[in-house]
Amino acid sequence: MASAIRRLFQWKTLAFALGIGSLLAAIVYATLAVFFPDIFDGVNRIAHRQIVAVQDYYYDRRTSESEFALEDPVERASLPLYRTIPALAAEKRTPHIAQPEANYQTWHRSTGGAAALRYSSLDEVSPENVAQLDVAWTYEDQENGNVQATPIFAADRLIFPTARNSIIAIDPGTGEPQWEAKAYGPEPAKRGLIFSESHNAVFFASGANLHAIAVDTGEPTSILDGGKVRLSGVAKVAPAICGDTVVSANTGENPALQAFDIDTGDLLWSTELIPDDLPTGTGGRPSKQAGANPWGGFSVDQARCIAFVSTGNPGPVLVGVERPGPNPGSSSVIAIDIATGETLWRFQEIAHDLWDLDIPAASVLTSITLDGQKIDVVATPTKQGNMLLLDRLSGQPIFDWRLRRAPTSTVPGERTATYQPDPILPVPFARQVFSQDEVTDIGEENRASVLAQLSNSLFGFFTPPSPNQDLVFYGLHGGAEWPGAAADPSDGSVFIAANNVPSILGLVPEQKVMLDSTHLGRTVYEQNCASCHGSELGGGVGPNIQDAGYRMSDEALTSIILKGQQAMPAVHLDDQQLQQVLGYLSSGTATGSKFPRYRRAEYRRLYDVEGFPGSKPPWGTLSRINLATGKIDWQIPFGRHLALEQRGIDGTGTENFGGLLTTASGLLFASGTKDKRIYAFDSANGTELWSHQLPYIGSAPPMTYSYNGEQYVVIPATGGGTLAIYDDRVETGNAFIAFKLP
C-alpha cells in the first residue's frame, strides 16, 4: 500500500506540474498498481523520469536568486559554540536480560552471532600457548577474488562464499570440499551468511534475492517458498533470524529492512529506512534525499526481537542542496521491532552528511555495569572514529553527547547542519581533524611532497566541500570500517581497528543531462548499475553519472566498467550489453540551468612521494575501549611497514580492512594489514603474542570453532578489496587458512 501511495503522489505531482490536475487518473493508476505491480513498474519508472524533468524545469523557472544565496558565516558564528544531548537518566536505562546464545560456543552467523560480538568462549588456545599455533590446513579456491565474508561453522561444516559466485562447504578438520552450490547470482553472501539449526538451512542473499539451502547438500530447501524470495533491493550483508522470522537489510533507491516467514517465505513487513516526512527546501522544494543504505550490516537482540541497523550517508553524495534538512535515516543507527516492523528509534551521528561518513559496521550488542547496575547497550563504531554508546530500548546516549558549532558552506543553496558531533565520552578512537600539523614526519622529502599538495586545500572541523578547492580530511575509509568491532560481554570491553589516512574530496560543475528512457541500454543499466548509481543516475552508493557519457570517451567508460575503478568493482558485461549501456549513457540531450549544480569529483588519498599516507603515523591502530568509563584502556599501532622499519621508522601501523576476533581466554586475533599477517594480542594490555605470514592480506574477520575436541582459528586471506583500489601493489588471492595447536 505504501508503494501505491507513492505512485499516487508521483502521478499527482506530474499532473500538477503539467497543469493537468488529473487526480482521478492518479487514483486509478495507484489502485491498479496494488494488484498488478509488475505491469506498472515500467510505467512508474517512466513517470518518475518525467516528474524529475518537469520539476527541474519548473524549479529553474520559479526559483529566486535568494534560494541559492550563500549561508551567512557571521550568523552561524553568533550561535553557542556547543550543544549537548544529555545522557539518559540512570533510572531509565535498559536492565540487562540474558540472550539465547549466551554460551558463545557456536559461530552460526558470519558476525559471530546475532549480537555481532565476534566473541567466542572457546579457551583451548590461550595467551600461554598461542605462540604454538600452526597451519592445520589451507583451502585454495579455483579463482582469485576478494571475499569479504567470515565463514560459519554449521553441522560440522565450514561454509563460506567463493569468488566464483558460489557457496562452498568444506571439512573443518582437513579443508577438503564437501559440496558446492553454484549459480546463485552476483556476489552471494557478499559480507556474510547465517545457519538456522532448527531449520537445518543456511540463509544468504545474492543480488536482490534471499536464498535458503540445505546445510547437508547445498540444495535449495522447501522452506522460504522453495528456497528463494525476492527482496526490495540488493542485500550485501548477512541476514538475521529471530524465532521463525528471517530479516534482510536491502540497499537501493528505497533502502529497507524486510522480514519473511521462514517456512512459507511470506513477506511479513517491509520498513523503509528513509522516513516519508522529509523536510522541504526553501520555496517548498521537495527533498530528493537518497542514500541511507544498510551496507554496514545489522545486529539483533534475540531476547527482545529487535534489529539494530547501521545506515550509510545520504545522497547525492557531498552535495546537499536538493536534500534539505538533517536527512533523517542516514548516517544513523535505527532500531526496528521484528514482530511488527515498527521503527522504535533513530540516532543520527552526522546530520546532513557532506563527507561520505557512513556508519560502516554493524552495532555490537553488549552489556556494561554502570553505577552498580548492569544494563544493555548498543555500541557502534563509525568512520568518524566515534563509538556511539546508546541505551538498548530508548536509543538515548549513555554519556552526554556533545555537539560543536559547524562552519558554513560556499556552495550556492547549500544549508549545512549547524552542529556536528564533538564527543568527550566515549573518547574517539581515531583522528578526526586533519591540519598541516598532521602532515607526515617520516622524512623531509616525504613531508615536502605532501605540503606541496596542500597549497590550495581546505581542512578543519567538518569543513564542507567547496568548488575548485581540495578538502583534506580523515574518515572516508575510517576510523572504523565495515569489519566492525569485537566485544567481550563479560567485562564491557570493545576492540576496534582503525585507519588514520587522509583523503581528498572535491566538487566539480555538473551538466544536467536527460537520457533517452526508451534506449535498449536502459535495461542493462538497471540490472547492473542502478543499485549503486540510482535509477536516474543521480548517485547513491556510487557517484552521480548523469553526464558521464558527455564528459568521458567510450574508451574511458569501457575501462571503468570492465576493470572497475577505486571503490567500484568490475561489471561483467558481454560485448552487446557493453555497447548498449555505452549508447544509453550518451543518449539524450544536455539541458542548461541558470543555477549552479555540482557533483563530487573522484576520491583520492593524500599520499607522499613514496606512496605512504600523507599524515603522521600511526596509520593503523588497534584499541580496547572500556565502555563503562568511555575511555581507551590501550591503543597500539596495528601492522608493520618493513621497508620503513629497515630505515629505523617503527610503529607506523598500516591501513587495514580485515577485522577482529576475541576469546574468553584473553586473546584478540586481528588481520587485514598491508603486511599480510594475522596477529594474536593479549586482550588485557595489547601485547603481541604471535603472528603468522599469510599469502595474501586478510580480507574478512577471523573466526573460531571446536571440532573433534580441537580449537581452530580460520582467516579468509584473499587480499584485494579497498586496499587494492588505492595501491596496485596489493594482490588478490584465494586462500582460507586454519590454525590449531600441535
Q: What is the pLDDT of residues 595-624, one digit of tens each?
A: 678 888 889 999 999 999 999 999 999 999
Residue 45: its H or E element: helix 37-62
Sort strands 306-310 and 332-337 into parallel, antiparallel or unpaired. Answer: antiparallel
C-alpha cell at 62: 520559479
C-alpha cell at 86: 544529555
What's this model's pTM, rounded to 2 decimal places?
0.86
pLDDT of residue 55: 38
pLDDT of residue 681: 99
Higher pLDDT, 195 or 545: 195
pLDDT of residue 46: 35
Helix 2-17 to helix 37-62 angle (10° resolution) is: 40
Distances (CA, A) of 7 to 18, 59, 719: 16, 21, 44
CA angle 43, 48, 49 (to 5 degrees): 100
Q: What is the mean pLDDT of the chain?
A: 89
The answer to which of 186-190, 359-363, 722-726 has the lowest mean pLDDT is 722-726
- Give the tens place of pLDDT for each residue, 667-680: 999 999 999 999 99
CA nearest to 427, candidates 634, 656, 284: 634
Phi, psi of 576 (to 5 degrees): -65, -45
Helices (H) and strands (E) in the chain, counts: 13, 45
**Strand ranges across the sheet with 343-348:** 298-301, 306-310, 332-337, 343-348
How large is the average pLDDT for residues 509-526? 80
pLDDT of residue 63: 52
Higher pLDDT, 98 or 521: 98
What gap in Å lies between CA 708 and CA 62, rounded to an integer? 74
Binned at pLDDT 50, 70 and 90, residue 98 comes out as very high
The answer to which of 22-26, 73-77, 592-596 has the lowest mean pLDDT is 22-26
Share of the chain above pLDDT 90, in %: 72
Residue 558 has pLDDT above 50, yes or no: yes
CATH architecture of 119-273+287-506+607-740: 8 Propeller (2.140)
Residue 249 has pLDDT above 90, yes or no: yes
Binned at pLDDT 50, 70 and 90, residue 49 comes out as very low
- Give the tens place of pLDDT for each residue, 409-456: 999 999 999 999 999 999 999 999 999 999 999 999 999 999 999 988
Residue 390: its H or E element: strand 387-391
Residue 605: CB atoms within 10 A of its CB come to 18
What gap in Å lies between CA 59 and CA 55, rounded to an integer? 6
CA nearest to 121, candidates 623, 682, 661: 661
pLDDT of residue 68: 80
What gap in Å lies between CA 209 and CA 616, rounded to an integer? 44
pLDDT of residue 389: 99
Residue 3 has pLDDT above 90, yes or no: no
Residue 586 has pLDDT above 50, yes or no: yes
Residue 39 has pLDDT above 60, yes or no: no
pLDDT of residue 225: 96
448: CB partners within 8 A, 6+ apart: none
What gap in Å lies between CA 582 and CA 578, rounded to an integer? 6
How large is the average pLDDT for residues 524-539? 79
- Give the tens place of pLDDT for each residue, 533-555: 877 777 666 777 877 876 677 88
pLDDT of residue 592: 58
Domain boundaries, the chain: 1-62, 119-273+287-506+607-740
How large is the average pLDDT for residues 715-728? 90
pLDDT of residue 18: 38
